[in-house]
Structure 1
Amino acid sequence: MKKMLAGVLLAGALATGAQAASLKMAYDADPVSLDPHEQLSGGTLQMSHMVFDPLVRWTQDLEFEPRIAEKWERLDEVTVRFHLRKGVKFHSGNDMTSKDVKWTFDRLMSSPDFKAIFEPFSDMKVVDDYTVDLITKRPFPLVLNSATYIFPMDSAFYEGTDDKGQPKNLLKKHADTYASRNESGTGPFRVVERQQGVKVVFDRFEDYWDKKSPGNVDEIVMTPIKEAPTRVAALLSGDVDFIAPVPPTDHKRLKGTDGSDLITMPGTRVITFQLNQDRVEAFKDKRVRQAFAYAINNEGIVKKIMKGFGTAAGQQGPKGYAGYVEDLKPRYDLKKAKALMKEAGYEDGFSITMMAPNNRYVNDAKIAQAAASMLAKINVKVDLKTMPKAQYWPEFDKRAADVMMIGWHADTEDSANFTEYLTACPNAETGWGQYNSGNYCNPEVDALVKAAGSETDLARRADMLQKVEKTLYDEAAFIPLHWQNLAWGASSKAGISKVVNVLDMPYLGDLVVNN
């Protein structure tokens, strides 16, 4: 499993006295693209933290720590200045400067998936080669939160056209672009081999800027293993050293096996169903949407399917987030659901289509199957189709079913982010409602969230966001299921517990594998 770097010893390994090591890793799927701006998803962000590096990043305690930006200060109510590290190299060998950060920011502003995060910003100005000013349209409380998504890209590397005559910087979803196949970042690992759906091989970047990193992993081989039992078996047999996710049904097995560790954390990702009002006339009636919420027993799903490894949800944001409302509880009540369907004129029910992934969220296919059975009790016939996430996301983008599953972790660790993406009126120009496949729209909700986006009085801001959650609950804008907990499995030799976090973005560049 171990190998020494040819000619170059890792600085981190020298600092810790640890030999360089290889890591065999199995996720439920491999990254769909090497373009960090193509898709706002957990898989993309996991890859970005390996291959690229953000201006700042979250710690396990959800504080901010410097990365490409060494320090920062607020100049006025709309301007934050970032001082960049000198001597940072891209994988191509090019030096990183402010020009690359500005180029990256401008590209992010054009990304369909990321533009909503950066909607509050008006510009990034280059002050000098290693200083940039990030400027917002109005006072904005989440500048650093947003800066965690700025992973500088090598602007020179993406200049010109590829062998297909397409611009190398072309940003297009689900397309075979140059940026989706090639990378030049500043991160701890380079992609040296990639066979989509088979494996991705990462090698340690010998010119990585972070010489203080304790990480001693010089090679990572990532193999996608869709089936959870197969992933767990691969770990227990020693074929791989690190897996994610670990389903609740296998927790006891891992805990009871010598040489294997199970690492768990409370999660903040909400799993939901969205009801497409543009496809189904009945979904425009809030009584029907409420009936669906009352018909689906999400507490039962957590208990029986999730084996208790989750928290039944009545709203978007979890406890601890600014908009959380203690009184908004799960509301399973079959009698109430039937009464609402009758009141709305749908006592005899109707037929719908439903889609869900089968390898993106913990037990996602089983959850969808259970929900379909529960809806049958209010005479709703569900034609359910589940599929791997690589196939699911293009279908989701097309809004290809009447009811679709979507899970969301607040990208800014803030409850407003749920609304901006999942329940805001869809707006292709701003990116709001980018993942609102239900096409729910309430301008008053959007106005409250936008006002909260420039409110720096945290108590007043929390009150605004709580009003949003109450409105969404009353209108059954979506069907909340649960907040999904996180679990990783690893060989006891791999110090995974020090590099995982509630963001589900392991910082593998800092990983130390004991020899």
Structure 2
Amino acid sequence: MRRLHHILAAAATAFVLVGPAAAQELRVGLSSEPSSADPHFHNLTPNIQLRWHVFESLLDQDKNQQPIPRLAESYRAVDATTWEFKLRRGVKFSDGTELTARDVIFSYCRIPKVENSPSSFIVNTRAVATMTAPDPYTIVMTTTAPHPLLPIETANIAIISAKAAGAPENLAFNRAGCAGVDAWPKTEDFNSLKLAIGTGPYRYTQFTRGDRIVVERNDAYWGPKPAWSKVTFRPITQAAARVAALLAGDVDFIENPPIQDLPRIRANPQFATVQALSSRIIYLHFNYLTETPPPGVTDTGGKNPFRDRRVREAFSLALDRDAIVARIMGGVAVAAAEMLPSPLPGTNADAKPARPDLDRAKRLLAEAGFPNGFSITLATPNDRYINDGQIAQAVAQMLTRIGIKTQVEAMTASTFFARRNRAEFGFWLAGWGADTGEMSNPLRALISTPDRNRGMGTTNPGGYSNAAVDAKVVEALTMVDDAKRNALLAEASRMSMADFGLLPLHFEVSVWAFRKGLTYEAQMNQYTRAELVRPAP
């Protein structure tokens, strides 16, 4: 990464809507329901994409996940461990309060104080050692070691109003929380909309779980006004019902239409679709925590089979990833060999998805002491990822062919994530979107040894640990030189995949469908953002 980054303010218009700001309503059908209106509560795509309508960050990302200005009109590396951000002047929260450096400091301090977060944003703040404000429109962050990913990580931290939260005037940053804060904002106060005050193009007017989320145009918005005066998000988690709502005219725009319905939608001249390869990996993960069998694993003679690399390799060899892509995903996916698609930074261009080899898989199981296999339960959400329940059923059938008697336990995403984070599963299917668009993100979250203080292994509840991989990741995170950093990340990825720390299945290809008269700029990060839905020219 160049030692000096300076983004011109003129580039800031890259993300905003163009076209007439007419009084129109856009109705959006969501495939997954956000768990909260609190922008710091849950590091999960449904929550993140929703918060961007109301809460902004210092930087944003373009459609290929490259950084662009947002609340910071420019930034630069002062030296290897110091970064300066210049805030955009004249930005106001929806209650009329002006944005200043105080709000940024308070927002960063709150991250480690969020109670009961299922997946914390602390992974994006832990590198910050100090934060000061030389003036109300300048933020200076320092890190204890070179941390070239700090700018892109700012795109994941929503800026909330310090004044609305009752923060003191003089805030002193501490990575464990600002000094002098008597009471930290509660998630419930965001869900009730009491503290749902942001600088974004919209403001919340309704947040009703299980029904709808409504945002209306923020008249105090600093940028060009969005085209839609009102946007109604309706969680329609049942795929067929979501398509039916679009075809019936009940919604204008939907995410994740079922693969099997795409030909019908595309054949109808009143509707259109757009798609893009995503950075989201669908993967299988193991519980390594105990020497005894983890939950849902039986007939192993009292051992945890997943601690044996041969068992994990056998599972991988049982999987026909191309068949899943062709038959379950209708070709709208890409078989995966690692956790991020090439050529994104830190990937291995020569990595190839493993081919099924049932005979070798059975031999490996026998060598590991399980000649007759064993029994497992595969846990999965059935309303979060594209065809997630069907993928799990296909995986179960494939594992059964090598003697692993597999049952599927499918559940809603909210139940799944809560139970997974309590380590209630021995084996599960999940997905991960790399919000920085480079390999350190999945390596840190999914593979690194869990260490909350360092923001490592934040979504590794199974406890996979590989000291050699950890060392590569830590070294990469201090490497300013792009080429050297990416080489370290690629090696860490190669090592973790050779150890079968988790099993990649495929990368999702995201699809959106909408009524004629609209266009959408598809995002690699899979986000559905109403500001990017435009009236067709």
TM-score, normalising length from structure 2?
0.87
Checking the alignment, whether the CA contact within 8 Å between 2:64 and 2:524 is kept in structure 1 is: no
Matches within 5 A, 1:12-411: 16-110=19-113, 113-159=120-166, 169-170=184-185, 177-182=188-193, 183-210=196-223, 212-213=224-225, 215-278=226-289, 279=294, 281-331=304-354, 332-411=356-435
Q: Contact 1:123–1:135 (CA<8 Å) still a contact in 2? A: yes
- 1:470 CA displacement: 1.8
Equivalent of 2:514, from 487, 490, 500? 490
Contact 2:325 2:335 in 1 (8 A): yes
Contact 1:21 1:513 in 2 (8 A): no
Distance 1:458 1:43 in 2: 31
- From 391, 415, 418, the equivalent of 2:439 is 415
The residue type equivalent to 1:418 in the other structure is: P
**Take 2:34 and 2:316, find their aligned partners in 1: how far apart are those partners?**
33
Deviation at 1:109, TM superposition (A): 4.7
* Separation (CA, whole Å) in 1 of partners of 2:468 and 2:97: 48
Greater Cα shift, 427-436 or 23-32: 427-436
CA-CA distance at 1:138 after TM superposition: 1.4
Shift of 1:511: 3.8
Q: What is the CA-CA distance between 1:16 and the residue it aligns to? A: 3.9
Please report the TM-score for the alignment, with normalisation by the length of structure 1.
0.91
Q: CA deviation at 1:451?
A: 0.3
Look up the equivalent residue of 2:222 and give its one-letter code: W
Alignment RMSD: 2.0
What do the CA deviations read for 1:241-290 (whole angstroms, capped 9, x no partner)? 01011222121111111121101001211100101122261110000011
Determine helix, strand or coil for the equivalent of 1:121: coil
One-letter amino acid of the counterpart of residue 145, structure 2: R
Alignment partners' CA distance in 1, 2:61 and 2:350: 30
Once residues 266 and 154 of structure 2 are traced to their aligned partners in structure 1, the CA distance between those partners, rounded to angstroms, is 37
Aligned mates of 1:17, 1:178 — CA distance in 2: 34
What SS class does the counterpart of residue 365 from structure 1 fall into? helix
Q: Secondary structure at the match of 1:411?
A: coil
> 1:400 and 1:333 mapped to 2: Cα distance?
30
- State how far apart, in whole Å, the 2-side matches of 1:471 and 1:209 are: 47
Mapped to 2, the partners of 1:63 and 1:428 lie a distance apart of 27
Asked if structure 1 preserves the Cα contact closer than 8 Å seen for 2:19 and 2:535, the reply is no
Match of 2:142, as an amino acid?
I
Listed one character per residue, the Cα deviations across residues 148-187 of structure 1 (whole Å, up to 9, x for unaligned) are 1132101121228xxxxxx87346xxxx622343211111
Deviation at 1:17, TM superposition (A): 4.2
Alignment match, 2:498? 474
Name the counterpart of 1:7. Answer: none
Distance 2:113 2:340 in 1: 27
Structure 2 unmatched runs, 5+:
1-15, 168-181, 298-303
The 3 A distance-change label for structure 1 pair 471 and 16 is closer
Paired residue secondary structure (2:453) = coil
Report the CA distance between 1:425 and its aligned residue. Answer: 0.6
- Distance across 2 between alignment mates of 1:350 and 1:189: 53
Equivalent position amino acid for 2:421 in 1: D
Show CA shifts across 1:112-156 (max 9, x none).
Answer: 611122222212211111111122221122122111113210112
Comparing 83-92 with 321-330, greater Cα deviation is found at 321-330
% of aligned pairs identical? Answer: 30
How far apart are the structure 2 equivalents of 1:397 and 1:71? 38
Where 2:509 maps in the other structure, the secondary structure is: strand
Cα 1:168–1:28 change in 2 (3 A) is farther
* Contact 1:42-1:505 within 8 A present in 2 as well: yes
Code of the residue aligned with 2:276 in structure 1: it is M
The residue number in structure 2 matching 1:504 is 526
Structure 1: runs of 5 or more not aligned: 1-11, 161-166
- How big is each residue's C-alpha offset from its partner over 1:336-364, in whole Å with a ceiling of 9 and x where there is no partner? 11110011110111122221111111000
Give the secondary structure class of the aligned counterpart of 2:362. Answer: helix
Partners of 1:295 and 1:17 lie apart in 2 by: 54
* Residue aligning to 1:3: none
Q: Distance in 2 between matches of 1:316 and 1:185?
A: 33
Flag the 1:48–1:330 CA change in 2: closer, same or farther, 3 A.
same
Q: How has the CA–CA distance of structure 1 residues 399 and 26 changed in structure 2, closer, same or farther, with 3 Å as cutoff?
A: same
> What is the rounded CA distance, in whole Å, between the counterparts of 1:368 and 1:187 in structure 2?
38
- Take 1:510 and 1:308, find their aligned partners in 2: how far apart are those partners? 26
Amino acid in the other structure paired with 1:288: V
Q: For 2:19 and 2:314, how far apart are their aligned partners in 1?
A: 59
Aligned partners of 1:388, 1:53: CA distance in 2, in Å? Answer: 29
Closer, same or farther: CA 29–322 of 1 in aligned 2, 3 Å:
closer
User: Is the alpha carbon distance of 1:17 and 1:474 closer, same or farther for their aligned partners in structure 2, counting shifts above 3 Å?
Assistant: closer
Structure 1 pair 181–467 and aligned structure 2 pair: CA distance change class (3 A): same
SS in 2 for 1:512: strand
Please say if residues 169 and 178 of structure 1, whose CA atoms lie closer than 8 Å, have aligned partners that are also in contact.
no
Is the 8 Å Cα contact of residues 18 and 514 (structure 1) preserved in structure 2? no
